[in-house]
Structure 1
Amino acid sequence: MTKAALNQRDICFYINEHTVRFNQFSADISRARLAIAQSDADSVLLFHQSSYDFAVGFFALALEGRHIVMPPNAQQQTLMYIAPQCQATLGDIKVDGLDAIDTNGATSNNSSNSSNSSNSSNNDSAVSVEVLLSRADLFTLLACQITFFTSGSTGQHKPIVKQFSQLNCEVDVLIKTFSQRLAATQLLVSTVSHQHIYGLLFKLLLPLKSGLAIVNDTFEYPEHINQCLGNDDRQTALLISSPAHLKRLSLDNVLIAKKAQLQGVFSSGGPLPFTIAQDLFTQLGQAPIEVFGSTETGGIAWRQCQQSSPSAWRVFPDISYRVMAETAQLILTSPYIAGDDYVTEDRVEWIDSQHFTMLGRADRTIKHEEKRINLDHMERCLQQHEFVNEVRVIVLNGAKKQVLAAVIELTDVGKIQLQQQHKKSLNDSFKQHLLGEFERICLPKKWRYPDMMAFNSQGKLVMKELEKLFD
């Protein structure tokens, strides 16, 4: 996209219904850079609840060539685990032993007059920085690294280092792939955090580079999105979301009245059940665009299930793949990954060079009672039962042997059955259902039925929370 095209849409953010135009965003970045320039920290821990304040800090750090370290949350245990890798913090967090870069006053509610440089009156050395003149200037070739952390849903947070150039490349591919939707859209609203790679790419970098205005809030409830979109059908929007939020939306879809305004709904962070995609297609006239990828790999493929059966996954441009013969594992060559032939833990079935079908996770195939069991397969089987809304099968390590356990969020019909029958009768019903695919010795021995599954902010189930149900 040309600089002229990027400048056509001058509003970058909406904060509490107030507009922030690019010249103010640029001036706020410049002021933050002046504060950062006073710090000797090479690696900075960046966390902001506000997407706008985060974006100001992110680009200020990137333009100053600092290593940006992004904690997935602001929990003290998480911050203490990550802190040894950093020399300073920026944002809504304080960590003992790390200097806090003070950018108070870096963001302003008043637009600034554009100029070629910004000077700090408190800086004796008269440091100056170049003011950004357009959105395109945000995406110049920056020698900057960003460290993300995996969600920690199955264990300790794992650091993943990316180059800004890799993220920029991925944004360009997303713009190319979804160009028509982006061109027809004015607003971007989101239910996901910018502190993870999906949120950073789709909630901030993609709209900033493609010319959209970002609603600063991270929405928890669909009713608030409904209010945000208002009653003007000309106000078009993209919704960036996760399976957990979309599942709740499908149960009571207050956005049906706004479907003419929605140019697209994106989902990532975990698998979206096909039944939910079908429900949303019926309600909104479009199924969510599902994006398959990970922190390690970036985006791999996408699909939109608008037929009577699940669609195949289509790989993004510039990505090639092959399938490991022995295990059916997906092997990638991607510009978002250093080196060739990255072996994932995802099992796929080859269709052609651009399409594949998902078979589940290789790392969820276990040896249990001398039998090989794929837990994804067992979950898919249980998901077909009319009583099952959401399911997760886990392995509990007992004193003498491992035990399979199932955690099931019941449908309304299933909840009625649980109230009317003994829990053992419900357990037996699910066991009988599984016997069509699995030997009896392979079936779960323990069953729990929480009112709702415990998803984290990225829509992922947290293993420790599931295990607590069996304490």
Structure 2
Amino acid sequence: MTMLTTTRLPLIRHGGPDDLFAWHDGRPVTVRGYLAAVRDLARRLPEGGFVLNLCADRLGFAVGLGAALLRRQVSLLPPNDTPATLRQLEDSYPGLVCLTDAGAGYPGMTCIEALPQGGLDRLSAAVSPFDGDLAFPADQVAAIAFTSGSTGRPMPQVKSWGTLVRSVHGAGTALGIAGLGAAGLVGTVPHQHMYGLESVALLAMQHGLVLHANRPLFPADIAACLGDFPGRRILVTTPVHLQALLADGTALPPLDLILCATAPLAPQLAIDAEARLGAPLHEIYGCSETGQVAVRRTSATAEWLCIDGIRLRQDEQGSWASGDFLDGETLLADVIELKSDTRFILHGRSADQVNIAGKRSSLAFLNHHLNSVEGVRDGVFFMPNEGGSGTTRLAALVVAPGLTAETLLARLRERIDPVFLPRPLRFVDALPRNPTGKLPREALLRMLATPQRD
């Protein structure tokens, strides 16, 4: 990392105190109101090193992030809020304080509501003069994000303020965000996840966008949130949410940009989305360890372009990412074909490569063909735990109410080598996706082990 300790980077990059910062509970929130709420919460936070930001309200989350930075406290961003996860975090970070939405609470934990009682209007009127120069050292630790971890225990990923800001600036430049002005931004992904943190909360804060405080999931709710903005609009989503949105057929207000991440996006889905929604769709590639790495317009090219400051190299271990704002190098968990140190083609995760009877394929390839079968609403291949015989067999879970196993297997035989046909093939009502649309392996194994009802 090349940034000096003396480098300070602003909390937000809006033009002035009366610019819109967010849309919250049917009302606009100005930059003045947001900064007043940040300082109010900073005064209410007790001494300590860590805050557990569990706010579902995006405005409350952004206020909590700013207040923690102001108090030089670190925001913990958990993968979920299950009792087991919260106990593990309490054990690892004694004395942490939990930031919540109004009325929310977690038994046994010290909780503080992020937004002030009485509303932001009271604070805005009371704060004078306006101070819009809130900035923090680039090397200040801003957040610790967590991956689920192979052991089931959350694995910490420490992020400095400079790393986060530079990453978001690089992505914004690659996506042409500056040309959209003060566009309204709606996201369907949780902001405690790195994708949501960078591409929803921080993208808005660092590019002068207007952040919608809601996190809609259903098509009608997405349309309603987008409709709250009169001007330009950005939708940040996932392939799963995008597919559901297109299948539903709900009409959306005009869009100017669609961002997508968390899972491979089929080119045909990207083409359909652009045609139906009337806006360019860009994918973001990254991981919790590095944050955002590269972008591409999926309908136009298979190549990814690294964001400004990121470079790749390869050796016998795999592909490594480094950058001006990253600490050292990170080994990426994907099979990558390098075209240059800033351009590449992604061939799927290294762990997704399968070898059965001497034949090779990838789970991404197999999932593409499974989900391309007419009548399949959702489906996934995965490698179950090996049985006592040691024979490698793929399993699949599929949502396809109108198909039989015989019909589906026959259609798959037309698309993939028979050695990769799933055994077993289980029909289910829905796949166990998490809030970002991913499918945790443990959840797939539990579903596969559950006896199937007649």
Q: TM-score, normalised by structure 1?
A: 0.82
SS in 1 for 2:324: coil
Number of the residue aligned with 1:416: 402
- Once the two structures are TM-superposed, the CA of residue 101 in structure 1 deviates from its matched residue by 4.9
TM-aligned CA distance change 1:224 to 1:77, over 3 Å:
same
One-letter code of the match for 1:108?
G
Contact 2:241 2:437 in 1 (8 A): yes
Number of the residue aligned with 2:244: 248
Number of the residue aligned with 2:125: 112
**Aligned-partner Cα distance in 2 for 1:188–1:165:** 23
Number of the residue aligned with 1:68: 75
For residues 415-457 of structure 1, give each alpha carbon's deviation from its aligned partner in whole angstroms, at most 9, with x where no partner exists.
4343xxxx2343344245322xx6x3x5421102324333211
- Of the candidates 219, 222, 232, which is equivalent to residue 222 of structure 1? 219
- Please show how residues 28-427 of structure 1 align to structure 2 within 5 Å: 28-36=37-45, 38-39=46-47, 41-86=48-93, 87-92=95-100, 98-101=109-112, 105=116, 108-110=119-121, 111-115=124-128, 133-134=131-132, 137-138=134-135, 141=138, 143-150=140-147, 155-180=152-177, 182-230=179-227, 234-256=230-252, 258-259=253-254, 262-307=255-300, 310-324=301-315, 326=316, 329-340=318-329, 342-368=330-356, 373-400=361-388, 401=390, 402-410=392-400, 415-418=401-404, 423-427=405-409
Contact 1:367 1:373 in 2 (8 A): yes
SS in 2 for 1:434: coil
For residues 242-263 of structure 1, give each alpha carbon's deviation from its aligned partner in whole angstroms, at most 9, with x where no partner exists.
111111111133245x22xx11
**Aligned-partner Cα distance in 1 for 2:242–2:286:** 18
The answer to which of 211-220 and 156-165 deviates more is: 156-165
Number of the residue aligned with 1:25: 34
One-letter code of the match for 1:202?
S
SS in 2 for 1:314: strand
Number of the residue aligned with 2:3: none
**Structure 1 unaligned spans of 5+:** 117-131
Number of the residue aligned with 2:5: none
Contact 2:382 2:395 in 1 (8 A): yes
**Structure 2 unaligned spans of 5+:** 1-8, 450-454
- Once the two structures are TM-superposed, the CA of residue 209 in structure 1 deviates from its matched residue by 2.2
For residues 311-350 of structure 1, give each alpha carbon's deviation from its aligned partner in whole angstroms, at most 9, with x where no partner exists.
31111111111233x57x322112353113x221111122
- Once the two structures are TM-superposed, the CA of residue 270 in structure 1 deviates from its matched residue by 1.5
- Once the two structures are TM-superposed, the CA of residue 142 in structure 1 deviates from its matched residue by 6.5
For residues 65-106 of structure 1, give each alpha carbon's deviation from its aligned partner in whole angstroms, at most 9, with x where no partner exists.
112211122221221122212222222375666544576747
**Aligned-partner Cα distance in 1 for 2:322–2:13:** 34
Contact 1:43 1:88 in 2 (8 A): yes
**Aligned-partner Cα distance in 2 for 1:65–1:321:** 33
The answer to which of 172-181 and 9-18 deviates more is: 172-181
For residues 193-237 of structure 1, give each alpha carbon's deviation from its aligned partner in whole angstroms, at most 9, with x where no partner exists.
1111111122222212221221110011221232233398x5211
- Once the two structures are TM-superposed, the CA of residue 278 in structure 1 deviates from its matched residue by 1.4
**Aligned-partner Cα distance in 1 for 2:268–2:156:** 34
SS in 1 for 2:270: helix
TM-aligned CA distance change 1:335 to 1:84, over 3 Å:
farther
One-letter code of the match for 1:408?
V
One-letter code of the match for 2:245?
L
SS in 1 for 2:120: coil
**Aligned-partner Cα distance in 2 for 1:311–1:366:** 22
TM-aligned CA distance change 1:339 to 1:398, over 3 Å:
closer
**Aligned-partner Cα distance in 2 for 1:265–1:272:** 13
TM-aligned CA distance change 1:158 to 1:280, over 3 Å:
same
Contact 2:237 2:261 in 1 (8 A): yes
One-letter code of the match for 2:364?
D
TM-aligned CA distance change 1:165 to 1:108, over 3 Å:
same
SS in 1 for 2:214: strand
Number of the residue aligned with 1:464: 442
One-letter code of the match for 1:424?
E
- Once the two structures are TM-superposed, the CA of residue 399 in structure 1 deviates from its matched residue by 4.2
Contact 1:365 1:372 in 2 (8 A): yes
The answer to which of 47-56 and 450-459 deviates more is: 450-459
**Aligned-partner Cα distance in 2 for 1:185–1:380:** 37
SS in 2 for 1:392: strand
One-letter code of the match for 1:239?
L
TM-aligned CA distance change 1:226 to 1:139, over 3 Å:
farther
Contact 1:154 1:462 in 2 (8 A): no
For residues 36-92 of structure 1, give each alpha carbon's deviation from its aligned partner in whole angstroms, at most 9, with x where no partner exists.
2x32x2122221121111111111111111122111222212211222122222223
Number of the residue aligned with 2:15: 6
Matched, 1:430 2:412: yes
Contact 1:229 1:235 in 2 (8 A): no
SS in 2 for 1:360: strand
